[in-house]
Amino acid sequence: MADKTIMLVCASGMSTSLLVSKMKKAAEEKGVDAEIFAVSASDADANLASKNIDILLLGPQVKYMHKQFEEKLAGSSTKLDVINMQDYGMMKGEKVLTEALEKLN
User: Is the CA virtual torsion 17, 83, 43, 46 positive or negative?
Assistant: positive
Please tell me which residue in 7, 10, 48, 82 is annotated as part of the active site.
10
Q: What is the DSSP string of 27-73?
A: HHHHT--EEEEEEEGGGHHHHHHHS--SEEEE-GGGGGGHHHHHHHH
Specify the pairing of strand 34-40 against strand 79-82.
Answer: unpaired
Rounded CA-CA distance 29/104 in Å is 19
Residue 79 has phi, psi (to 5 degrees) of -85, 160
> Is 50 one of the annotated active-site residues of the chain?
no
Catalytic residues: 10
